[in-house]
Structure 1
């Protein structure tokens, strides 16, 4: 069994912006390592080999049919979520492509008997864990474009949690 999730990875320029933002965070907490920064679309929980295969096949088919849409989302609000104790950069899901992609990921998870979100979708990137408060800081505006959907394996290690990309599928612009 592997602990898996579907997410979008920031590109190099976006990663640079995010790490600069992290550098300005002076709060108690643990910064998320640069290589772990991502925007989750579906946390799937523990997956069997068969579930992972079925998920990969479904996503490959959707990608081949050009049914995994590209999108843009602006993350521009710094927020402290008390219960999970995280500090994140969040935005609003307005792009129909993003909403469609989120819904497809949740539907696939449900069909395969995997974890589905009980919360409404808030696009965000977690910057810090074990955060105690919201720093007084103006949040930058980060425009995140989705060009590929990644299946990540969340692995615990002595260095902390590592996120490893197991598979990726291209997102395509809808035909005009």
Structure 2
């Protein structure tokens, strides 16, 4: 069975609270991303077979066991409107070499499995609103996202809209 999958970092409870407070202050036209769907994508994988998912999961489990999935920090502090996908996001700059290393690793694993890889440079961001028409005039808070676990998500369509379900998680480790 084919599943629409992606690798991402989930905000912790305090960060989710900060993000939902920011969402509450957005008065633009659009559709807020549900609290449970807020995340920072490292690799959109597209449609994956069970075989590809298993191979990817095994590779990530091996890397986690070897301590090769690095923990990181990134500060998201700029509210942006991307007109092409019509989304409003909180974004930052990938300055932490550990974050860049983890992004590259996720892209390499996707490529090895014949899955989708990004054609864009990595811009760390969390999408707050879809079908956004404009950028609201408000100051974005500064949110420091600490990556402690990498999650494999399944994007499932339902009558209530798209829901993201965590299928597997691997701990990120502090590098020495």
Q: TM-score, normalised by structure 2?
A: 0.99
CA distance in 2 between counterparts of 1:172 and 1:158 reads: 38
**What's 1:165 paired with?**
166
CA distance in 1 between counterparts of 2:97 and 2:70 reads: 9
**What's 1:45 paired with?**
46
Deviations 1:28-61 (A, max 9, x none): 0000000000000000000000000000000000
* Two-structure CA RMSD over aligned residues (Å): 0.2
CA distance in 2 between counterparts of 1:62 and 1:99 reads: 16
**What's 1:5 paired with?**
6
1:6, distance to aligned residue in structure 2 (A): 0.1
Deviations 1:1-51 (A, max 9, x none): 000000000000000000000000000000000000000000000000000
**What's 1:56 paired with?**
57
Which runs of 5 or more residues in structure 2 are unaligned? none
CA distance in 2 between counterparts of 1:168 and 1:137 reads: 35
1:170, distance to aligned residue in structure 2 (A): 0.1
Q: TM-score, normalised by structure 1?
A: 0.99
Q: Count how many residue pairs are aligned between Structure 1 and Structure 2.
A: 175
Which runs of 5 or more residues in structure 1 are unaligned? none
Q: Does 1:88 align with 2:89?
A: yes
SS for the counterpart of 2:122 is coil
